[in-house]
Amino acid sequence: MSDIQDPLFQPYFLGGLELPNRIVMPPMTRSRASQPGDEPNDLMAAYYAQRAGAGLIVSEGTWISPLGKGYAWTPGIHTPAQLAGWRKVTQATHAAGGRIFAQLWHVGRLSHISLLEGQSPVSSTAIQAEGVNVFVAESDGMPSFVPASKPRALQVEEIHAIVDEFRQAARNAMAAGFDGVELHGANGYLINQFIDSGANGRSDEYGGSLENRLRFLGEVAQALVEGTGDQTRVGIRLAPLTTLNGCVDDDPETTYTAAAKLLGEIGVGYIHIAEADWDDAPDMPIDFKQRLREVFPGTLIYAGHYNAERARTALREGWADLIGFGRPFVANPDLPQRLRTGAQLNMHDRDTLFGGGAHGLTDYPTLGLKPDQ
C-alpha cells in the first residue's frame, strides 16, 4: 500500500514536534555505557543514529541519581560527563533526521548493594522483590544475574528529594539536547512500587488509598513538566496489566484508569503503555484500552509484541496513536523501511543484548536503502 493509505506512515504532531511516521523505538536497556562513570559514548550515538528513521526514539533507561541505578553498565544523566555523552547521542540522532526523548529511571528496590556502593536499595516499603534478579558486572565483561537486595522504606523527606532529582534530570535532558523526556513508571520500578497495592504498605500520604498511591506519580509528572518547560514534551510509561518484577495491584484496571485520568489533568504529552511482550501473552482487553482513551486526552503509545499488521489495526481502530516495536528495532536499524515494504526482519542475538561492544549493537545488516527521514 502507499504511504497515503498506510496508517503506520502518516505524520503525527506530538505537541509542536512533527513525527514523520507512527513508529516508535521504545526504551531498551543495552548496557554499553563507558566505564568508569556510566557515560554514554560514540558507540551508543551510532546505535541511535542508525535508527533515526523511527518517528520517535525513546532512549534506554537512564538513572537520575546514584541510588536510582539497578543494572551494570547502564547510563546516568546525573554528572557533567554523562550529559556530555548524551549530547553526542542527541547530536548524532538529530543529524540523521531523528527525534529522541530521554527515559528517566529510578529502579527503587530492583537493585543490588554492589551497584550502590554498599547502600541498600530504596522503595515505598521494605518489601523484598521476591524471585527478581538484577545484573552486576563480572570481570570478563559479562553480566552476572543476582537476586535483588532487600530495600529500605523511603522517608517522606527522601521522597520529596527524589521528586527534585527527577525535576533536575529533566533539566539535564533538555540541556543535553533531548526533544523531551519519558518517565519509567512501569515494570516494577520505583514509581510502580508506589502505585501497585501489593508493593506499597505505607500508611502515610503516599500509601493506602488509591489517591495516596498515585501521589508520587503525580508529583514526579508535574516536576518533569517544570523541568522541561513544556508539558507536551513529557511522556509517562506505564504497565497496567502486567506483574513484572514483583509488582502486583489488587484492581489494576481501576488503578491505571485513575492514573491515566490524573496524568491527563496534569497535561502530559503522552502515556506509553507497555503490554505483555512474551510469546502467547494475552492481549490487553480492548474495552480497557478504550477506557484509557476516554480519560486521557493526550497521545497514547502502545508497545508489546506488535507486528506490522497488528500495529495498523491498532491505529485504524483509534485506541493507539503511535506503536512501539522493541526487539525488532534491536536487529533492524532500518525497521521502518522493512515495515513499509514487507521485507523480512533480521532476528536479534540474545547473547549480545546486554553488555559488550559493537557486535549485536551496530553491526546488524540493512536493506541498503536510504533511511527514511
List active site positions. Answer: 189
The rounded distance, in Å, linking the Cα atoms of 214 and 196 is 9
Three-class HEC string of 52-121 = CCCCEEEEEEEECCHHHCCCCCCCECCCHHHHHHHHHHHHHHHHCCCCEEEEEECCCCCCCHHHCCCCCC
What the block records as the C-alpha cell of 9 is 506512515
Q: Is the peptide bond before 297 cis (omega within 30 degrees of 0)?
A: no
Sole residue written with cell 549493537: 361
Report which of 186, 61, 78, 188 is spatially closest to residue 123, judged by C-alpha positions. 188
Q: CB of 288 within 8 A of CB of 316?
A: no
| Side-chain half-sphere CA neighbours of 229 within 13 A | 7
Three-class HEC string of 253-267 = HHHHHHHHHHHHHHC
